[in-house]
Amino acid sequence: METAVLIIVSTVLANNFVLHRFLGLCPFLGASARLDAARGMALATLLVLTLASIAGHLIFRFLLVPFGLEYLATLTFILIIAALVQAVELIVRAISPLVQRILGLYLPLITTNCAVLGVALLNVRQQRSLLEAAWFGFGAGLGFAFVLITFAALRERTDRAPVPAAFQGAPLALLTAGLMAIAFTGFGGMAGD
Amino acid sequence: MFAGIVVVTLLALGAGAGVLWLRRYLADGTEKLVAAIDNLLPQIQCAQCGHPGCRAYAEALARGATTIDRCPPGGERTQLALAELLGDAPGGAPLPSPARTHLARIDEAACIGCALCLPACPVDAIVGASGFLHTVIAAECTACELCLELCPVDCIALVPRPEHPVSTA
Amino acid sequence: MSATLPAAQALPAKPAMPLAAGIWRDNPALVQLLGLCPLLAITTTVTQALTLGLVTLFTLLASNTLVSLLRRWLSPEIRIAVAVLIIAGAVSAAEMILAAWFHELYLRLGIYVPLVVTNCTILARAEAYARHHPPLAALRDGAAYGVGFLLALLLLGTLREWLGHGSVLRDAELLFGPAAAGWTIGSVTGHRGLLLALLPPGAFILLALVIAARRRLEIRAAPRIDATGAAQVAR
Amino acid sequence: MLLEHEPGEVLHPFHGGLRLRHYKRQSLSSPVSRPPLPARLVLPLCQHQGRAGRLLVSPGQRVLRGEALTVAEAANQVPIHAPSSGVVRRLEILPTIACPEPGEPCLEIELDGEHRAVAPAVPPPWRAMSAAELQRAIAAAGIVGLGGAVYPSAAKLLAAGQEIDTVIINGAECEPYISCDEALLETHPERVLAGAGILARAAGARRLVIAIEKRMRSAERKLNARLEVTTVPTRIVKVPSMYPEGGERQLTQVLTGREVPLGGYPQALGLVVFNVATAAAVADAILDGLPLVERIVTVTGTGIAAPGNRRVLLGTPLHHLIADCGGYRPGAARLVCGGPLMGEALVHDGLPVVKGTNCLLVLDAGEIADSAPVLPCINCGECSRVCPVQLLPHELHWAIRAGDLGRAGEFGLEACIECGCCAQVCPSHIPLVADYRRGKAEIHAERQRRAHAERAKARYLASQERRQAKAAAAREAAEAEQRLAGDAAEAKARIAKALDLARQKKAKRTPMTTPAPSRSRHR
Amino acid sequence: MTIRHFPTAPAPHLPPSRDVATLMRDVLIALVPGIAAHAWFFGPGIFLQIGLAALFALGAEALAARWRRQSARRLIGDYSALVTAVLFALSVPPLAPWWIALIGMVSAIWLVKHAYGGLGYNRFNPAMAGFAIVLISFPLPMSQWLAPAPLGAGGTDLLEILRAVGLGQLPEAARWDAISSATPLDLLRSGRAQNLLVSEVRLDPVFGDFGGHGWEWIANWYLAGGLWLLYRRVINWRVPVATLGTTLLLTLPFYLIDPAAHPLPLQHVFSGALVLGAFFIATDPVSGASTPAGRLWFGAGVAVITLAIRRWGNYPDGLAFAVLTMNALAPLIDRYTRPRIYGERR
Amino acid sequence: MNGTDRPAAWQSIAALAASALLVSSVLVVVDHFSRPRIEAERRAAAEALLAQMLPGIDYDNSLAASFTALHPVHAGDPNGVYRASHKGRPAAWVYAVTTGQGYGGAIELLVGVDPAGRITAVRVTDHRETPGLGDRIEAGKSTWITQFEGRRLGDPPAAAWRPNRLGGAFETISGATITSKAVTDAVRRVLEYDTAHRGDLPAVEKGQ
Ligand SMILES: Cc1cc2nc3c(=O)[nH]c(=O)nc-3n(C[C@H](O)[C@H](O)[C@H](O)COP(=O)(O)O)c2cc1C
Ligand SMILES: Cc1cc2nc3c(=O)[nH]c(=O)nc-3n(C[C@H](O)[C@H](O)[C@H](O)COP(=O)(O)O)c2cc1C
Ligand SMILES: Cc1cc2nc3c(=O)[nH]c(=O)nc-3n(C[C@H](O)[C@H](O)[C@H](O)COP(=O)(O)O)c2cc1C
Ligand SMILES: Cc1cc2nc3c(=O)[nH]c(=O)nc-3n(C[C@H](O)[C@H](O)[C@H](O)CO)c2cc1C
Ligand code: SF4
Ligand code: SF4
Ligand code: SF4
Ligand code: SF4
Ligand code: FES
């Protein structure tokens, strides 16, 4: 349990996936223009990150390592992530069209979210156990969800401000991300990586 | 050495087959989406979107068979609402609707009572019968213009809605 | 596994002047904001930026060419899946080459080399251009966008290294061999620079400033592009 | 619904509000008098919330004081009456306070100066009348709320299915400067009490509460001296002066500690609130047979030479009234109808007094805040601290400025009573209430559109159904008669052709020149 | 009789009761006692810092006004840049070199304020963002504090201060003893790392009765200024009460359980920037939460994060980061703490 | 899946598998050529850091392979050691140690010691000190860490094994006294451990 807490503090605050590790920036900027969209994206990503983390670990340990195929990690992971995303989308759609409406748009986007591939690769490189990998994926998702939702709420306000032309849109979003990263710098040192 | 090829190929096969299997065995919930889309359309039923009525357009949208910028009466407002629901980017702006500002009026002096315009009105806003004078029910007309071209004596025109209808007798 | 491309990423193909489009008008990093993760993560030195830029360029060229070659056989169902496979293959190959011949750089770039797979620019070019055009044109298009991305990396890398370390091109020998050890401009050690530039927040802020500056140049050049127009250009 | 205490027995606080300096003495120092008759009166046909009644007179017709000019034919209609005798000159769109540009339909009466009244139909003793008869009589006298909302008073009593238990008479005149209610209480306390008693009976209420402001000591004395005039148990309650205590929701909360449900009225709690002037007007109508043709108006402010209260005929031009109060002082810079917080600045003084006109305020340049620049909202939260409805006025402001009416609705825009507290305390001097009025108007328009769309949808479905049925019947008939199935196909072709024609015409109308979506939403 | 025309304007028609410039001026006035105490204990360096920060802040504001084609007079006339400058100056060490103020103020005014649209639109506290930027970028000069007056001899000499601030040269004589001295919070941290008892750490002369020596008095004067602001209704009670209350609430149990290992709760309140922060910084209306409940959450969040950073983080005090983090969260907090509307059933 | 223009499901899967086959084949070939080099590089990288620890010392075994985990009893005891040997005789020891007294948390160090008990080198392998202050213990950021080279217990005397800011003989990193003290202490502790326990360490086996 302590590992879990440490991993989550680390992935959410101290080494936030988006703000300090630079993973998942495309959806961070792309899906944050509105709060409800951000909520959908956050939930979908949380789900997929956790699943991908586990799936990646299993594939690596039971398929790649036994045959000495570590070099195929990238290829197999992206394959499995894409399939996973599709499967999750189909299942969600079948179980609850409502949730599908909330998440549906965002699921396909997740394939090209580098946080998902990143979390699987980091698990391998940092040699996490299955349980740790699961927590890591979940924590990464939480961290992503946390900053995405916060950021979306912030952007609802910055969007209505008389921002100088050169800063409108992307530059201001990045500036905001930078200031959030500064704020989160304070959490540095609170947990390992 | 060939293990790599085998593993990747099998994985691709498995993933592809799995997704296809899932797709076949799981139903989808398009119905609710259609209802949600239909709810956002202006219900003018003018067919300017290229579909026979708003519901048909909603179905086409849910199938992904058309784009969200096809409904002129809805204007920018509807397009933004659809973009929000469907996650598409709003595209070119459709023509703004005349509906709020205009209505059809039949020049009663010119009307010959041919009744040609009757079946064209999608909301039954024209009353009258063959051989009699026709009128448009102001409160119901959506200004869809479908009736205008049908009149053989060109007696129907869109006119601005009176802004402050003074209800003196 | 046919992920649908989001509308914003399926960019219109503009055949004219692909180089100008890739580098300036539609610069994948500075205008389309794609592949920002590596852009921000590894640009602490010019050398790293250059390396990752080259890997991305290589992958873009490979994927554009192959997708263009295969374009007649790819049905819509699997088009994207195959493109992703090709990209992942190219990146894996690049990764192995890097690990074998530029090991130190490979270690420094960490997971951002394999993450080139998820750089949407590559998939977007395959989808938007390569699958409609013959190999040579696709190659040219890939080169334009790859160089555009590379230049953005270099620009940010130069800024961050210069502000943060007070040097440019430190550790060049890792990429160019021992002969390059002397290429470094400015001091290598002892300089206390603007530390912020090297840290994550600095990366965001500098990129924001670079994009704002680019925007400003554009507004200057075409004074009639108003605020909203500019905002639309840059999604 | 059981209350722990009777209304007004214990006083309760309400959220927010402002303690304001009152400037009532200026206008209260002189007695209430009548200005001389003007040459002509201009009477808007509709002076209340609702629709105008059917016109009874035509140009050239001679009318007497108290004669009905319109008649109500629906629940939301209220008649108007001639305030003095003369000749109806014209029916025309003329500028009014409610609509200075371009104006609304008004009757102009040229007075003959004789001020002859119709022979008052001797009303039956009101104690012999049933509640329903009283309500009808109140409606026929053209009585609407004189406290500002100008809602038909009889309609308040009719509120279906609601048991009214207490009638509250609102004398908590809380806006600075306005003193017409206090002047009325000082001069005619017995009229107010009598009207209140009639209203209680008309409402079927068993209790009467008369709420006045704490500082109205002499009015309290006078009321207490005549309490026997009412016929139900009556309590005079002095409420602390805190703006906008006079708002009926706030007053309800102060007197009962309960909140009027969102979107509802005090009637939901078994209460009904009337202004003191409304009560007096009821007394005039029921006891004397005089319909609502005049009211007390406060004319005051730093820009007025001799502030005071005047009993004015409806339709009197404002400048006539102002002239009677000594005219303008040199520095007069703004003309306001109503109090300083809720009042509306008027473009000119040629507009006529209407039923809702309670105060004319003329301010000099030193007292208005034009010089203060409007800054962006700094999120200080002062506005929400003072908002009696517990809204977040700055959020409403943002939502409306961003054109996000849905958001504004979520934040409770429609619950805003436009009291102006928020705008008064805003350090950035944002005209918040102006925003809300715009936003409300847009929401209203949007709702109309929605309702229209719903109706169109229903009619479309019905027409589809009918057509299909007809087509089916036609087919059947055709088959039965072994004829070529012509009709249905032809009808279909005709519709298709219509669609085609419309589409072609549409195409001709392009290229479209509509501007791209104007808000820059970065993504 | 002629009709007279009048210009119209939206209601209300009373002269405004307050304006932004008055609010800001009140904040500046309320800071005066604290600044005086600061100068008393740490020497006149603070005046130099305030002067420099104000100069750069106003300069940056004037340039921003020019670029944005606004009236510089109006922009500067609202005093908000001055408040930013003073709060920034109070956060940096009195001997920090001049370019610290330059970089801090330019980034605060341009990047944090005007890039977002200027007064009222900034989403982060400019003073704290500027402070955090220089703290992260230049940790060395930013961690070199003077010892309070009775403990250190150096630093009060005007010439030496000028040299330190102007040229970045620290006074020779004072280099090791008075300059770069650990603040009470630093000592608590290092003590904890070395498993010392709080009582042992507190033997160090920089500790006073309940806070840091000198620091506690400065904090008292900030407190006085803050209470005056409350009285003037410039700030709302919720943020300071929530911030200080949460600090006490969170630290009290630890102290009660093991007084030897944990500092007195008041110690937490009166060392570092908490009092200044609770009354002057977390109360910045623009970048904070605005609903009543939201303000309580905001203040509590500031306290929790500050304490967490003091305890586990990489920085001796966490107020700036706590405020910035809560700034980021403020819109979300506001969104979920909308008060119940009159008559609305919940 | 039945229109003429859309391929059947199995066709899609087959096409996918075919491309997977092709791509993986290419990768297998690349792997074939790069694998030996990658492994060599990997080994060299691991050795390179350790080699830095032993400047001027001759040894002929693989340091990376010589690692033995130790079980710290007291705080400050090393948690592992690499043993260098030359012609079968011990040549040097590189201790891995973690100190919890850093400013931002744990600092991990390698301390090389020659047979005479002199420090060959000290390197920080992981830490969480403040960038710009405490991080100057990294060799790449300043030369501070090299001041220990050649020192041994008694040089300077135990009382002076601390930063000069605290009255000792070693330089202090300005603004980072705590960090400086943590590293200095940790190095001293390793030397003390080395003196006390070196004899207990297992010898380097053949083939390591
Ligand atoms: C902000 C506000 C202030 C009001 N102030 C008064 C007031 O001072 N006196 C008053 O009689 N009505 C006032 N009203 C109107 C009351 O809410 C209510 O409509 C009136 O007392 C009902 O009586 P009536 O229908 O006879 O006008 C105010 C309304 C609002 C929204
Ligand atoms: C330092 C201070 C602390 C206060 N604490 C509380 C409190 O805990 N609860 C409370 O209801 N009012 C408290 N008040 C009273 C408030 O100032 C105020 O009267 C009341 O809460 C309404 O606040 P509002 O006008 O901001 O809604 C406090 C006042 C001060 C000056
Ligand atoms: C932002 C900041 C970061 C700090 N980082 C460190 C650090 O990494 N290592 C350290 O020993 N002290 C650190 N400190 C503590 C101070 O530098 C403290 O004053 C120091 O331990 C004692 O000062 P001195 O080293 O100049 O004697 C930091 C202080 C601040 C304000
Ligand atoms: C009570 C109060 C507190 C303030 N606190 C700060 C502050 O901490 N930092 C700052 O830069 N400005 C502060 N200001 C000034 C101003 O609000 C700030 O510069 C705005 O963020 C600029 O838009 C404060 C103003 C007031 C009224
Ligand atoms: S164009 Fe719009 S209003 Fe007309 S039928 Fe189509 S959806 Fe309905
Ligand atoms: S009357 Fe004409 S314009 Fe109006 S709805 Fe019917 S067909 Fe359309
Ligand atoms: S005007 Fe509306 S929002 Fe403003 S204080 Fe009054 S009720 Fe609240
Ligand atoms: S009072 Fe004015 S400045 Fe303050 S929050 Fe409300 S609208 Fe904004
Ligand atoms: S590059 Fe990381 S999500 Fe796009």
* Side chain identity, residue D396: L
Query: What is the model's pLDDT at position E16?
Result: 85
Whether C81 and B89 lie within 8 Å, measured CB to CB: no
Q: Which of A29, A71, A168 is nearest residue C231 as measured by Cβ atoms?
A: A168
Residue bearing the CA closest to ligand 8, atom 2: D426
Q: Where are the alpha helices (DSSP H) in chain C?
A: 18-20, 36-41, 46-69, 76-101, 103-109, 120-128, 135-165, 173-176, 200-221, 227-233
- Start-to-end C-alpha separation, chain F: 62
Higher per-residue pLDDT: B62 or F37: F37
Kindly list the residues from chain F whose CB atom is less than 8 angstroms away from the CB atom of residue B12.
Answer: 16-17, 19-20
Going edge to edge, which strands form the sheet with F89-99?
F68-69, F80-86, F89-99, F107-113, F119-126
Query: What is the model's pLDDT at position D198?
Result: 95
Strand partners, B158: B104
Query: What is the model's pLDDT at position C235?
Result: 32
Ligand 4 test: best mutation among E83, E110, E119, E279, most atoms within 8 Å of CB? E83
Higher per-residue pLDDT: F182 or D487: F182
Q: Which tokens sit at E171? A: 């006074």
Query: What is the model's pLDDT at position E313?
Result: 81
Whether C204 and A172 lie within 8 Å, measured CB to CB: no
Please tell me the pTM assigned to this model: 0.85
| Residue C15 binned pLDDT confidence (cut-offs 50, 70, 90) | very low
Region A107-124: mean pLDDT is 85
Region D435-457: mean pLDDT is 81
Tens digit of pLDDT for each residue in C66-91?
A: 999 988 877 766 777 888 899 999 99
Output the tens digit of pLDDT for each of chain E's 346 residues: 588 999 988 888 988 888 899 999 999 999 999 999 988 887 888 999 999 999 999 999 999 998 888 887 777 778 999 999 999 999 998 888 999 999 999 999 999 999 999 999 999 999 999 999 999 998 888 887 766 655 444 445 677 777 777 777 665 544 444 444 566 777 776 666 666 666 666 666 666 666 666 778 888 999 999 999 999 999 999 999 999 999 999 999 988 888 877 778 888 888 778 999 999 999 999 999 999 999 999 999 999 999 998 888 888 888 999 999 999 999 999 999 999 999 988 6
Region A129-155: mean pLDDT is 94
D455 Cβ under 8 Å from any chain B Cβ: yes
Backbone angles phi, psi at B97, to 5 degrees: -80, 140
| Contact of chains B and E by CB distance (3 or more pairs under 8 angstroms) | no
Q: Is the pLDDT of residue B167 over 60?
A: no
Query: What is the model's pLDDT at position D236?
Result: 95
Region D323-345: mean pLDDT is 93
* Residues near D257 by beta carbon (within 8 Å), at least 6 away in sequence: D5, D10, D12
* Side chain identity, residue D46: C
Q: Which tokens sit at B53? A: 């009525």
Query: What is the model's pLDDT at position E102?
Result: 96
Residues D515/B93, Cβ–Cβ less than 8 Å? yes
Q: Label residues A32-56 b or e (16+ Cβ within 10 Å = b).
A: bbbbebbbbbbbbbbbbbbbbbbbb
Whether E138 and F174 lie within 8 Å, measured CB to CB: no
Q: Is the pLDDT of residue C232 over 50?
A: no
Q: Closest Cα of chain D to E292: distance in Å?
A: 8
D516 Cβ under 8 Å from any chain B Cβ: yes
| Residue D255 binned pLDDT confidence (cut-offs 50, 70, 90) | very high
Q: Label residues C100-113 b or e (16+ Cβ within 10 Å = b).
A: bebbebbebbbbbb
Element (H, E) at D54: strand D54-55
Distance of alpha carbon E227 from the chain centroid = 16
Q: Is the pLDDT of residue B164 over 60?
A: no
Most confident listed range (A98-102, E163-167, F198-202): F198-202
> What stretches of chain F adopt beta strand conformation (E)?
68-69, 80-86, 89-99, 107-113, 119-126
Region C45-58: mean pLDDT is 94
DSSP annotation of E2 reads -
B78 Cβ under 8 Å from any chain D Cβ: no
Whether A30 and D523 lie within 8 Å, measured CB to CB: yes
The pairing of beta strand D166-171 with beta strand D207-213: parallel
Distance of alpha carbon A137 from the chain centroid = 8
Q: Label residues C135-168 b or e (16+ Cβ within 10 Å = b).
A: bebbbbbbbbbbbbbbbbbebbbbbbbbbbbbbb
Residues E84/E64, Cβ–Cβ less than 8 Å? no
If you average pLDDT over every residue of chain D, what do you get? Answer: 87
Tens digit of pLDDT for each residue in D351-375?
A: 999 999 999 999 998 877 666 788 9
Query: What is the model's pLDDT at position C81?
Result: 82
Query: What is the model's pLDDT at position D342?
Result: 93
* Residues near F93 by beta carbon (within 8 Å), at least 6 away in sequence: F81, F82, F83, F84, F112, F113, F194, F198, F201
Whether D522 and C227 lie within 8 Å, measured CB to CB: no
Q: Label residues B37-47 b or e (16+ Cβ within 10 Å = b).
A: bbebbbbbbbb
Query: What is the model's pLDDT at position D139?
Result: 94
Whether A69 and B18 lie within 8 Å, measured CB to CB: no
**Closest ligand by atom to B99 CA:** 6
Neighbouring chains of F at 3+ CB pairs within 8 Å? A, B, C, E
Query: What is the model's pLDDT at position F3?
Result: 37
**Closest ligand by atom to B142 CA:** 6
Q: Is the pLDDT of residue D301 over 80?
A: yes
Region B15-20: mean pLDDT is 82
DSSP reduced 3-state for B49: coil
**Closest ligand by atom to E143 CA:** 3
Backbone angles phi, psi at B85, to 5 degrees: -70, -45
Region A61-75: mean pLDDT is 90
If you average pLDDT over every residue of chain F, what do you get? Answer: 85
Kindly list the residues from chain B whose CB atom is less than 8 angstroms away from the CB atom of residue F20.
Answer: 8-9, 11-13
Whether D459 and B54 lie within 8 Å, measured CB to CB: no
Which amino acids bring their CB within 6 angstroms of ligand 8? D 377-383, 393-394, 397, 425-428, 430, 432
Element (H, E) at E74: helix E72-77
Region D190-213: mean pLDDT is 94
* Lowest-pLDDT choice from D3-12, D261-270, D478-487: D478-487
Residues A143/A60, Cβ–Cβ less than 8 Å? no
Interface test with B, best of A93, A106, A156 (most B CBs within 10 A): A93
| Contact of chains D and F by CB distance (3 or more pairs under 8 angstroms) | no
Query: What is the model's pLDDT at position D220?
Result: 94
Residue % of chain C over a pLDDT of 90? 44
If you average pLDDT over every residue of chain B, what do you get? Answer: 72
Interface test with D, best of A109, A154, A159, A175 (most D CBs within 10 A): A159
A170 Cβ under 8 Å from any chain D Cβ: yes
If you average pLDDT over every residue of chain E, what do you get? Answer: 86
Which amino acids bring their CB within 6 angstroms of ligand 5? B 41-42, 44-49, 51, 53-54, 57, 71-74
Spatial distance between the Cα atoms of E141 and D405, rounded to a whole number of angstroms: 51
